[in-house]
Amino acid sequence: MKALLAAATVGALAMGVSHAATISYTEGTRAQEPGSIKISDVPANPNGFDIDFMIGDDLSAGDVIQVFGRIVGSEDTYNFTATQAFDFSLIAAPLGTSGITDTNGPSPHQIDFKFTNTDTNLITTITVDTSDPVGTYGTLLAGSYILELDMEPDNQKRVALYDFELASVPIPGALPLFAAGLAGLGLRRRRKA
Tens-place pLDDT, residues 33-48:
999 999 988 766 677 8
Q: What percent of the chain has pLDDT over 90?
A: 51
Give the pLDDT of residue 12. 37
pTM score: 0.78
Separation of alpha carbons 41 and 50, rounded Å? 13
Domain ranges for the chain: 20-170
Say yes or no to pLDDT of 144 above 70. Answer: yes
pLDDT at residue 182 is higher than 90: no
Measured between alpha carbons, how far is residue 42 from residues 30, 83, 136 in Å?
Answer: 12, 24, 24
Average pLDDT over the chain reads 82
Nearest CA among 159, 121, 122 for reference residue 138: 122
Contact between 33 and 46 under an 8 Å Cβ cutoff? The reply is no
Specify the CATH number for 20-170; select among 2.60.40.10, 3.50.50.60, 2.60.120.1300, 3.30.200.20. 2.60.120.1300
pLDDT digits (tens, 9 = 90+) for 7-37: 333 343 344 444 688 999 999 889 999 999 9
